[in-house]
C-alpha cells in the first residue's frame, strides 16, 4: 500500500516474482523495453527494478523483484521481494516459473496463492519443454490452481502479449486464497492460531489470517517479530502450545510438515497435468555427463582456470591489432584539432586543453575499447551458456576452506566486470559475516576499469605474453582475496561457514543477439564513464598540469608535479619514484581508468603515443609493480560509496580504503625488491 500510493492512481502495478534464474529480468526487459542485465545464473537481480508499459488505454508499472524460492526470506534480496508482495499489494503478481523445473518453482506459487495474491502463472521457457516433447495440460493446471496460466518464452518474446493482456484483465480482482489440506493435526492448530491472531485488528487488516497462522507454524522470524509486538503474553503462550502439540503428535517440526505437504500437493498436481516423454531422461543424462567433467573435483578448477586463461588470450590476440587502429584515429584527431584551432588563432591555452587534456587524456583510455568489448563478449558467452554457475560450484570447496561462502563466488565474479554491482550482489548472502567478508575482499577482483592499465603496460614490456601477464594479475587478485577472507574469518568474523546451495541452470546455447546486447550494455557503461567522470578528471589533471600560470606544461613545477613529487617517496621502494606515476596512482582512486588518462596528460603524449612515453620511463619490473598496485590498492570512490551503502558504516568504508592500500603496497614492495635482487 505504501509503494502503490507513489504511483498514479489509475496505473496498474504488476509485480514479477519467481525463483532466481527463472527469467524474470528477461520478461521485465520484454515488457518495458529496458535492457537490464540478464544472466544464466541465480542472483543477478538483487534489488527492485521498475519500468512502465502501455497496453491499450492502460498505463502499467512493472516491478521486477529479486528472485526468491519462498516467502520465508533469508537474505536481503529475498526480503525486498517478500516485503513488496506482502505489504505493497500489487494489482497483479505475475509468477514467472522455470517450466523445465516445475516442481521446485511451484513451491513459491503455492505460497503466493495461499497468501491471496492476485496471480497469473507464466510458464516460462516453455519452448524448452516442448523440445523435450513434454506436454502440460494448461487448462487443468489453471483449473486446479484457480488462476490464469500462460505459456511464455521471455528470451524469444513468445507469449508476452497474451501475458500482458491476461494480467491487465484480472488487475485488481479479489482472489480467494488457496487452501491446502494439511491434515487433521495441523488443521486443528491452524484453526486455533487463526482464532488467536484474528482478535488483533491490526493483524486482521494486514494479513490473510490463515496464511499468517501458517507462517507462525513455519516459525518465520520476520512474521513472529511482527506478531510478538501485537499479541499479549498469554496469547503468545497459547500459540507456543499449538506448535508444541503438533511436534508432540507427529514427532516432526511444524515447518517440515508444512513443506512436505506442499510438495505432496505439487507432486500430485504435476502427476495430473504433466506428461513426460522417455527422451527426457536421455537429455538429462547428457547434461549430467557435461557436469561430470566440468564440476569434477579434480578437473573442475583446472578447467575453470583454462577457461579464464583462454578468455584473456582471445581478448589480446584479437584486440591488439584493433588498438593500433584506434590509436591512429586519436593521433589523427589530435592533429586535426590542433590545425583547426591554430587556423582560427585559438590561444595556446585552449589548444593545450583540447589536444593535450581532452584528446590526449580521454583518448588514452578509449584506445582500449577493443579489448574491453572482447573481454565482455567472452564473459557473456560463458555466462549465458550456464558455465559460470558451475564455476561457482567448483570453487566452493576451495573457498570454503579459506572461510569464504561458496555463494560469495557470484559477487566476486560480478566484481570482474565492476566492483560496485559486485558489492551490491552480496545481498544474496544470508549470513552477515559471510556478507561482510565478501564485501571487504570484492575490490581485489580485477574490474574492467583496470584493464586499460594492464593492456598498455603489458603490451609495452611483455610483448607476446600480454595475456599470460594479465592472467597472472587476475589470479593474484583471487589469491589475495582468499587469503584475506581467511584472516577475516579467523580474527574478525568468526563462525561456521554456512552450507552452500546453488541451483545449476540448464546449459543453453548463447544467442548471438543476447550475447551482443550483454557485451554492448557493459561496454557502453565504459564509454559513458569515459565521457563523464574520466573526462572531468582529465580536465582537472590538465588544469593542475598547466598551473600556476607561466609554468611549463606538465612539468615538476606544476601543481600536479608538486603533488606527485611530495608523495613519490612513498612509492619509491616499489620502483615508482617518478612523480608522474605517483600522480596517476593518486588520481586513480577517483576511477582506475584515470591512471592511464593521467599518464596520457602528464606525459603530453601527442602523436608519439603513451606506449612510447612509458617505455622511456619504466622498466618491466616497475611496470609489473604498478600493475599489481593498481590491482590491489584502494578501491575507486564509486566502490567505496557502495561499501558505505551496503555496510551502513563509515568505519568499514575507511577500513577498506586503508587496508587494501597497505596490502597492495606490501605485495608490490615484495615483488619489486625480490625482482631487483634476481634481475
Residue 44 annotated as part of some ligand binding site: yes
Fold that domain 12-170 belongs to in CATH:
Rossmann fold (3.40.50)
Task: Determine the average pLDDT of the residues in 672-679.
Answer: 89
Specify the pLDDT at position 87: 83
Residue 22 annotated as part of some ligand binding site: yes
Taken in order 396, 402, 407, 410, is the CA torsion positive or negative? negative
Return the bridge partners of 275, or none. 135
Return the bridge partners of 63, or none. 15, 50
Measured CA angle at 287 (ends 281, 289), to 5 deg: 100
Specify the pLDDT at position 6: 63
Residue 519 annotated as part of some ligand binding site: no
Out of 156-160, 349-353, 364-368, 485-489, pick the least confident: 364-368
Residue 367 annotated as part of some ligand binding site: no
Would you say 509 and 131 are in contact if contact means Cβ atoms under 8 Å apart? Answer: no
Query: 364-395 burial by CB neighbour count: b if 16+ within 10 A, else e?
Result: bbbbbbbbbbbbbbbbbbbbbbbbbbbbbbbb
Residue 270 has pLDDT above 80, yes or no: yes
Residue 12 has pLDDT above 60, yes or no: yes
- Which of 654, 522, 21, 609 lies closest to 331 in space, CA to CA? 609
| DSSP letter for each residue of 451-474 | HHHHHHHHHHHSTT-HHHHHHHHH
Q: How many whole angstroms separate alpha carbon 247 and alpha carbon 253?
A: 5
* Total Cβ atoms within 10 A of residue 344: 7
Furthest C-alpha separation in the chain: 95
Helices vs strands, H then E, count in the chain? 32, 8
Q: How many whole angstroms separate alpha carbon 507 and alpha carbon 384?
A: 8
Residue 43 annotated as part of some ligand binding site: yes
Would you say 323 and 367 are in contact if contact means Cβ atoms under 8 Å apart? Answer: yes
Residue 67 annotated as part of some ligand binding site: yes
Q: Does domain 184-267 have CATH number 1.20.1200.10?
A: no
Give residue for cell 523495453: 33
Out of 512-521, 543-552, 560-569, pick the least confident: 512-521
Q: How many whole angstroms separate alpha carbon 185 and alpha carbon 188?
A: 6
Residue 20 annotated as part of some ligand binding site: yes
- Tell me the CA distances in angstroms from 610 to 600, 614, 640, one per residue in order: 6, 6, 29
Residue 46 annotated as part of some ligand binding site: yes
Query: 239-270 burial by CB neighbour count: b if 16+ within 10 A, else e?
Result: beebbeebeeeeeeebbebbeebbeebbeebe
Task: Determine the average pLDDT of the residues in 598-626.
Answer: 82
Domain boundaries, the chain: 12-170, 184-267, 533-678
Residue 25 annotated as part of some ligand binding site: yes
> H helices of 171-220, where?
184-197, 201-206, 209-217
**Sequence-separated (6 or more) residues with CB below 8 Å from residue 194:** 209, 210, 212, 213
Phi, psi of 199 (to 5 degrees): -70, -15
Residue 18 annotated as part of some ligand binding site: yes
Out of 183-192, 483-492, 502-511, pick the least confident: 502-511
Specify the pLDDT at position 93: 95
Residue 45 annotated as part of some ligand binding site: yes
Q: How many whole angstroms separate alpha carbon 327 and alpha carbon 343?
A: 24
Would you say 185 and 249 are in contact if contact means Cβ atoms under 8 Å apart? Answer: yes
Residue 21 annotated as part of some ligand binding site: yes
- Which of 382, 361, 376 lies closest to 451 in space, CA to CA? 376
Per residue in 55-111, pLDDT tens?
Answer: 888 899 999 988 888 887 666 777 788 888 888 889 999 999 999 888 889 999 999
- Tell me the CA distances in angstroms from 398 to 297, 298, 387, 406, 486, one per residue in order: 10, 12, 18, 9, 11
Give residue for cell 614492495: 669
Higher pLDDT pick, 632 / 420:
632
- Which of 492, 532, 335, 274 lies closest to 403 in space, CA to CA? 492
Per residue in 194-203, pLDDT tens?
Answer: 999 999 888 8
Residue 150 has pLDDT above 90, yes or no: yes
Task: Determine the average pLDDT of the residues in 177-200.
Answer: 91
The three cell numbers of residue 579 are 612523480
- Which of 105, 133, 427, 411 lies closest to 270 in space, CA to CA? 105
* Total Cβ atoms within 10 A of residue 476: 18
Specify the pLDDT at position 282: 54
The three cell numbers of residue 209 are 489470517
- Which of 114, 160, 154 lies closest to 22 in space, CA to CA? 154
Q: How many whole angstroms separate alpha carbon 532 and alpha carbon 591?
A: 11
Residue 23 annotated as part of some ligand binding site: yes
Q: What is the DSSP letter of 402?
A: T
Q: Which helix (H) or strand (E) holds 489?
A: helix 466-491
Phi, psi of 75 (to 5 degrees): -105, 170
Give residue for cell 570453487: 395
Q: How many whole angstroms separate alpha carbon 503 and alpha carbon 358?
A: 48
Task: Determine the average pLDDT of the residues in 440-453.
Answer: 89
Give residue for cell 507454524: 217
Q: How many whole angstroms separate alpha carbon 21 and alpha carbon 124?
A: 11
Residue 149 annotated as part of some ligand binding site: no
Taken in order 541, 542, 543, 547, is the CA torsion positive or negative? positive
Residue 33 annotated as part of some ligand binding site: yes
Q: How many whole angstroms separate alpha carbon 16 and alpha carbon 95?
A: 6
Q: How many whole angstroms separate alpha carbon 298 and alpha carbon 280?
A: 29
Specify the pLDDT at position 37: 55
Residue 47 annotated as part of some ligand binding site: yes
Higher pLDDT pick, 501 / 294:
294
Query: 433-454 burial by CB neighbour count: b if 16+ within 10 A, else e?
Result: bbbbbbbbbbbbbbbbbbbbbb
Instruction: Tell me the pairing of strands 135-136 and 274-275.
Output: antiparallel
Residue 654 has pLDDT above 90, yes or no: yes
Q: Is 534 helix (H, G, I), strand (E, B) or coil?
A: helix
Q: Is 93 helix (H, G, I), strand (E, B) or coil?
A: strand
Residue 507 has pLDDT above 70, yes or no: yes
Residue 675 annotated as part of some ligand binding site: no
Task: Determine the average pLDDT of the residues in 202-220.
Answer: 90
Residue 29 annotated as part of some ligand binding site: yes
Phi, psi of 23 (to 5 degrees): 105, 20
Amino acid at each position: 500500500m505504501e509503494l502503490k500510493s507513489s504511483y498514479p492512481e489509475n496505473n496498474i502495478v504488476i509485480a514479477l516474482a519467481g525463483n532466481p534464474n527463472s527469467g524474470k529480468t528477461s520478461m521485465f526487459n520484454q515488457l518495458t523495453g529496458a535492457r537490464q542485465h540478464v544472466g544464466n545464473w541465480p542472483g543477478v537481480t538483487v534489488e527492485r527494478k521498475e519500468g512502465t508499459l502501455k497496453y491499450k488505454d492502460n498505463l502499467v508499472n512493472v516491478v521486477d523483484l529479486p528472485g526468491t524460492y519462498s516467502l520465508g526470506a533469508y537474505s536481503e534480496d529475498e526480503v525486498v521481494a517478500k516485503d513488496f508482495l506482502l505489504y505493497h499489494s500489487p494489482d497483479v503478481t505475475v509468477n514467472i516459473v522455470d517450466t523445465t523445473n516445475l516442481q521446485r518453482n511451484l513451491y513459491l506459487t503455492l505460497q503466493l496463492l495461499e497468501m491471496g495474491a492476485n496471480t497469473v502463472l507464466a510458464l516460462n521457457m516453455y519452448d524448452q519443454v516442448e523440445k523435450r516433447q513434454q506436454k502440460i495440460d494448461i487448462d487443468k493446471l489453471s483449473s486446479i490452481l484457480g488462476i490464469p496460466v500462460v505459456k511464455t518464452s521471455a528470451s524469444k518474446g513468445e507469449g508476452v502479449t497474451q501475458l500482458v493482456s491476461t494480467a491487465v484483465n484480472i488487475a485488481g480482482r479479489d482472489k480467494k486464497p488457496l487452501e491446502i489440506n494439511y491434515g487433521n493435526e495441523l488443521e486443528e492448530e491452524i484453526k486455533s492460531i487463526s482464532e488467536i491472531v484474528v482478535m488483533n485488528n491490526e493483524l486482521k487488516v494486514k494479513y490473510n489470517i490463515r496464511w499468517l497462522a501458517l507462517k507462525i507454524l513455519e516459525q518465520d522470524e520476520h512474521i513472529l517479530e511482527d506478531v510478538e509486538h501485537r499479541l499479549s503474553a498469554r496469547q503468545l503462550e497459547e500459540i507456543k502450545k499449538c506448535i508444541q502439540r503438533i511436534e508432540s503428535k507427529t514427532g516432526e517440526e511444524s515447518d517440515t510438515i508444512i513443506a512436505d505437504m506442499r510438495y505432496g500437493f505439487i507432486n500430485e498436481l504435476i502427476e495430473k497435468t504433466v506428461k513426460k516423454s522417455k527422451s527426457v531422461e536421455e537429455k538429462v543424462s547428457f547434461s549430467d555427463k557435461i557436469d561430470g567433467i566440468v564440476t569434477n573435483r579434480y578437473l573442475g578448477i583446472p578447467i575453470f582456470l583454462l577457461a579464464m586463461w583462454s578468455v584473456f588470450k582471445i581478448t589480446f590476440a584479437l584486440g591488439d591489432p584493433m588498438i593500433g587502429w584506434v590509436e591512429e584515429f586519436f593521433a589523427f584527431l589530435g592533429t586535426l584539432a590542433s590545425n583547426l584551432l591554430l587556423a582560427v588563432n585559438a590561444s595556446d591555452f585552449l589548444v593545450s586543453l583540447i589536444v593535450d587534456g581532452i584528446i590526449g587524456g580521454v583518448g588514452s583510455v578509449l584506445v582500449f575499447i577493443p579489448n574491453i568489448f572482447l573481454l565482455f563478449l567472452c564473459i557473456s558467452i560463458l555466462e549465458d551458456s550456464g558455465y559460470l554457475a558451475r564455476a561457482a560450484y567448483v570453487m566452493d570447496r576451495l573457498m570454503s576452506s579459506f572461510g569464504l561462502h561458496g555463494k560469495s563466488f557470484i559477487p566476486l565474479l560480478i566484481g570482474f566486470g565492476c566492483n560496485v554491482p559486485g558489492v551490491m550482489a552480496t545481498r544474496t548472502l544470508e549470513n552477515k559475516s559471510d556478507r561482510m567478508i565478501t564485501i571487504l575482499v570484492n575490490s581485489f577482483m580485477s574490474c574492467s576499469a583496470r584493464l586499460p592499465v594492464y593492456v598498455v603496460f603489458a603490451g609495452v614490456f611483455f610483448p607476446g605474453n600480454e595475456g599470460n601477464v594479465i592472467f597472472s594479475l587476475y589470479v593474484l587478485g583471487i589469491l589475495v582475496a582468499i587469503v584475506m577472507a581467511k584472516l577475516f574469518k579467523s580474527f574478525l568474523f568468526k563462525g561456521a561457514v554456512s552450507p552452500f546451495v546453488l541451483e545449476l541452470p540448464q546449459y543453453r546455447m548463447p544467442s548471438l543477439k543476447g550475447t551482443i546486447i550483454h557485451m554492448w550494455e557493459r561496454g557502453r557503461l565504459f564509454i559513458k564513464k569515459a565521457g563523464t567522470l574520466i573526462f572531468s578528471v582529465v580536465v582537472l589533471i590538465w588544469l593542475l598540469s598547466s598551473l600556476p600560470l607561466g609554468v611549463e606544461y606538465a612539468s615538476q613545477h606544476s601543481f600536479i608535479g608538486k603533488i606527485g613529487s611530495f608523495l613519490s617517496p612513498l612509492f619509491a621502494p616499489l620502483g615508482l619514484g617518478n612523480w608522474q606515476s605517483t600522480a596517476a596512482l593518486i588520481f586513480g582512486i577517483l576511477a582506475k581508468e584515470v591512471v592511464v588518462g593521467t599518464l596520457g596528460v602528464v606525459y603530453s603524449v601527442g602523436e608519439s603515443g603513451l606506449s612510447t612515453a612509458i617505455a622511456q620511463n619504466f622498466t618491466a619490473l616497475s611496470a609489473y609493480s604498478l600493475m599489481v598496485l593498481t590491482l590491489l590498492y584502494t578501491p575507486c570512490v564509486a566502490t567505496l560509496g557502495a561499501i558505505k551503502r551496503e555496510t551502513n558504516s563509515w568505519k568499514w568504508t575507511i577500513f577498506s580504503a586503508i587496508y587494501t592500500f597497505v596490502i597492495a603496497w606490501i605485495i608490490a614492495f615484495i615483488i619489486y625488491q625480490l625482482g631487483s635482487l634476481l634481475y
